[in-house]
Amino acid sequence: MDFLEKLKTSAAIAGETNTLGGGGGILESGAYEMTVETAYFDTSSGGATSLNLVFKSNDGQTLRQTIYVTSGTAKGGLNTYVDKRTGTKKYLPGFNTANSICLLATGEEISAQEIETKTLKIMDWNERKEVPQQKSVVMTLLGKDITLGVKKVIENKREQDASGAWVSASSGETRTLNEIDKVFRAGDHMTTPEILDEAANADFYTSWVAKNTGVNRDKSLAKAGEFVATASASSDTSAAPKKSLFA
């Protein structure tokens, strides 16, 4: 698939790091042992590439995520951006998350995954029902186990303004959703940075669980005191090849 070329990584760009950060089917914040049930690439109306995933736990809990791995057409359709503070090139947060899912579940980066065109039943919001659609399915991810550090997030609902841009809803209404905050390898709970650094122990998993379990991330404007939220709703060369540390 040609678009996978855009998702290759470079040694010149710093990858994922381990940081704890700040603090109706919606999962509580915590670590979850999951299996990849569905995985396919899609493209937004603005040209951004997303990896769309459905995870299932052994006890039947479901997590659906749309992770954007490139910018839109207007910004070049890249998996990187330039940090305005430092002027350095970095990977998009969504790309780091998706790439780690692929590395930790399959041993290969996202650009090396096996893709097949399949017909899936997917929700069409114009028709308001699931309809058959052809998608680029990531076959190598299906059925793979992964441990996900999931955050329960509160944020403002969005609406389109007069110019068509999406902005926070003037009503101050919020919604609750889940975001993948960190990815761990199933079994030993190692992170991508720990594996690359050849760390002896999965120390970050212990720290993440202690800091984040049961803790919501409130990103709403109400928290900032801009207005009071009134409601909640349920639902990122020529060198010889090296042996992968993830295999």
Tens of pLDDT along 176-229? Answer: 999 999 999 999 999 999 999 999 999 999 999 999 999 999 988 765 555 443
Does 245 map to a domain?
Answer: no
pTM here?
0.79
Residue 77 CA to its chain's centroid (Å): 17
Phi-psi region of 103 (alpha: psi -120 to 50; beta: other; left: phi over 0): alpha
Does 246 map to a domain?
Answer: no
Which residue, 86, 82, 54, is CA-closest to 67?
A: 54
Does 237 map to a domain?
Answer: no
Whole-angstrom Cα distance, residue 164 to residue 44?
16
Whole-angstrom Cα distance, residue 209 to residue 180?
13
Whole-angstrom Cα distance, residue 43 to residue 47?
6
Does 128 map to a domain?
Answer: yes
State pLDDT tens for residues 23-71. Answer: 348 999 999 999 999 999 999 999 999 999 999 998 999 999 999 999 9
Does 244 map to a domain?
Answer: no
Q: Structural domain tally of the chain? A: 1
Residue with tokens 């919604």: 175
State pLDDT tens for residues 109-125. Answer: 999 999 999 999 988 88
Whole-angstrom Cα distance, residue 179 to residue 97?
10
Does 238 map to a domain?
Answer: no
Domain of residue 169: give its range. Answer: 2-218
